[in-house]
Amino acid sequence: MQSQKSNIYMDLAGSDLDQSMQDALLYTINGVLYNFGDHHKSNNYSFKGNIKVLLRRLFLRFYCFRFFFKSKSNQRVIISSAYVDIESPGHCLVSPPWLMSLKKRSFSSWRLSNIVRRIQAELEKKSLRVIFSNIFFSLLKSYELEFRRLLKSENVACLIVPNDLALFENLSIKIAQSVNIPTIVYLHGLPGRYNSIDDNRADYLVVWGKGLKEEYINAGMPANKILTLKHPVYSSFEQYSLRSSFENVVVISKAMSGTPSSSDEVILSDRSKSLYYIERVKQLLVEMGVKSAKLRLHPSESESFYLKNIMDGFYSIDYDNKITTLAKASLVIGPTSTMALDAIKNGVNYILFDPIVDGKTLENTESLVKPFDGSSFIRLSKGSDDFKRNISNPNDNINITLLNEYMSVNDDDINTFLEIISR
């Protein structure tokens, strides 16, 4: 596997770090350097919000410590933070040590929970001086030693995470591999990028269908490490007429990544692109006589940023949950997003609009990622003529047959998955 392409400051300041530690820290360091601005909720200081977070942590810490996992049976343990529930007879499903909730027990110890808490507290300072300090490296080493001890003392079948970029996920994959425990990245959405580094650090990658597997293979990932498993929601789509009218239009925002999420190159965009996107959609809708629309934000985005900067009252922020929003919607317009699948699943047409400006996408890449480049099951709308045609002809805009082919799986892969967690 090729190494990440770092930022130039990391190349200089982190030159003494070994490649494994550089790989583990780069996403966090890039977050400090590039993830700023009030368009992201995480960057908006709120005393009330911080108090809520603090109280929640205290509650979880003192209420949930007694539910930390300790094997008292012959069940094998699956440590998972995947976005889907994994059910396997004879296995006990638990959360990884950096995640605590009332819904699922955590694979941890009192000592490890203290280490995780201290690491998280240091990360919240968003300081490179802190990250490069001896204290922080000592905490990472303590995490490695205690997590490895627990992995060796319990009957662990595998570690499953939704990504391999974030610090805890990246480190934990390496630690589990060091004691010969299988590791799996279980994809949680349709990727916004493909390369041979990301999602390739674990032993296996689970994707939702053959179409996604093909994209990873084309990007340089070995085919034999990619498994296709049915998604509980998106595994099949029925052939029926999609709602497609201007009665209740929902526009999905174009969220800009705060931290670069592609390891083969550092790609940066800016938040003006988010405002440009919704303004351009508004112009197209106004041309067609639409007076207003709901604006649905990405969960990471701050509504106050939009409310302060959009120029008029055309948009109103959508506060409903996703299912309610899609049940009410008569038409959904949005960029490259898994929301396209949600819209189709809920019987509403999705107009894919992801403009190219001056030869670049709004994320500042050379081209749109498949299948959102218009070459697969959904057409790409580039202007008013495309809008009108794809709104008027929803069943031509969305090809359900191609979509089901894209999301189809290899039937043998489920047996391979069960074999992996039963070794």
Residue 265 is part of which domain span? 249-406
Residues in CB range of 47: below 8 A, 6 or more apart: none
Q: What is the pTM of this model?
A: 0.89
Q: Give the span between the Cα atoms of 196 and 347, in whole angstroms.
A: 35
In 187-341, where do the E strands start and end?
204-207, 226-228, 249-252, 293-296, 315-317, 331-334
Q: Is the same domain home to 142 and 210?
A: yes
Residues 259 and 349 in one domain: yes
Claim to verify: residue 218 and residue 108 sit in the same structural domain: yes
Could you read off the pLDDT of 54-91 as tens digits, one per residue?
Answer: 555 565 555 555 445 555 557 889 999 988 777 777 78
416 and 401 assigned to the same domain: no
- pLDDT, residue 73, reads 59
Average pLDDT taken over every residue of the chain: 88
Q: Is 364 left (phi over 0), alpha (psi -120 to 50) or beta?
A: left
| pLDDT at res. 47 | 46
pLDDT digit string, tens, across residues 83-125? 877 777 778 889 999 997 777 788 999 899 999 999 999 999 9
Q: How many other CB atoms sit within 10 Å of the CB of residue 333? A: 24
Per-residue tokens: 398: 């969305």
Asked, for residue 47, whether it belongs to a domain, the answer is no
Q: Determine the Cα–Cα distance for residues 277 and 271; give it in Å rounded to an integer.
A: 10
Residue 4 and residue 22 in contact, taking contact as beta carbons nearer than 8 Å: yes
- Residue 347 φ/ψ region, left for φ over 0, alpha for ψ in the -120 to 50 degree band, beta for the rest: left
Average pLDDT over residues 255-280: 84
Identify whether 74 is part of a domain.
yes
* Same-domain status, 256 and 401: yes
pLDDT in tens, 276-287: 999 999 999 999
How many angstroms separate the CA atoms of 98 and 415, rounded?
30
For the segment 400-415, the average pLDDT, to the nearest whole number, is 95
Residue 261: is its pLDDT beyond 90? no
Dump pLDDT digits (tens) for 344-389.
Answer: 999 999 999 999 898 998 888 888 999 999 999 999 999 889 999 9
Q: What is the pLDDT of residue 129?
A: 95
Name the phi and psi angles at 211, rounded to 5. -65, -45
Residue of 158, 180, 165, 167 lying closest to 139 (CA atoms): 167
Cα dist from 251 to 96, 317, 382, 401, 420, whole Å: 35, 10, 16, 25, 42
Give the residue-averaged pLDDT of 207-215: 95
Residues 269 and 171 in one domain: no
Whether the pLDDT of residue 160 is over 80: the answer is yes
Question: Could you tell me what percent of the chain has a pLDDT over 70?
Answer: 89
**Distance of alpha carbon 30 from alpha carbon 35, whole angstroms:** 7
Q: Examine the domain organization and report whether 193 and 261 are in the same domain.
A: no
Amino acid making up residue 126: K
Check residue 225 and give its pLDDT.
96
3-state secondary structure of 78: strand
What's the pLDDT score for residue 44? 58
Instruction: Over range 132-154, report the average pLDDT.
Output: 96
pLDDT band, very low/low/confident/very high, at 41 (cuts 50, 70, 90): low
Verify that 206 and 259 share a domain, yes or no.
no
Q: What's the whole-number mean pLDDT along residues 243-249? A: 97
Q: Do 399 and 416 lie in a common domain?
A: no
Q: What percent of the chain has pLDDT over 90?
A: 61
How far, in Å, CA of 41 to CA of 304, rounded? 9
Q: Where are the alpha helices (DSSP H) in 124-250?
A: 128-131, 134-153, 167-178, 210-218
Q: Which helix (H) or strand (E) holds 318?
A: none
Q: Which of 49, 120, 39, 104 is nearest to 297 (CA)?
A: 39
Residue 241 is encoded by which pair of tokens? 């007429």
181: phi > 0 → left, psi -120 to 50 → alpha, else beta; which? Answer: beta
Residue type, 77: V
Cα pseudo-dihedral 195, 197, 203, 204, rounded to 10: -20
Top pLDDT among 319 and 300 is at 319
Task: Give the dihedral of Cα atoms 185, 191, 194, 200; nearest 10 deg.
Answer: 0
- Token pair 């480049």: residue: 373
Count of domains forming the chain:
2
219 shares its domain with 86 = yes
| CA-based R_g, the chain, Å | 23
Whether the predicted pLDDT of 330 surpasses 50 = yes
Q: Would residue 2 count as lying in a domain?
A: no
Q: At residue 193, does pLDDT exceed 90? A: no
Task: Evaluate whether residue 200 is within a structural domain.
Answer: yes
What crossing angle do the helices spanning 47-64 and 110-123 adopt, rounded to 10°? 170
Average pLDDT over residues 145-162: 95
Q: Report whether pLDDT(318) > 60.
A: yes
pLDDT given for residue 149 in this prediction: 96
Strand-pair partners of 214: none
* 316 Rama sector, left if φ>0, alpha if ψ -120 to 50, beta otherwise: beta
Average pLDDT over residues 236-260: 91
pLDDT at 67: 47
Q: What is the CATH number of the domain that holds 180?
A: 3.40.50
Is the pLDDT assigned to residue 185 strictly greater than 60?
yes
Pair (278, 218) in one structural domain: no
Instruction: Tell me which of 3 and 335 has the higher pLDDT.
Output: 335
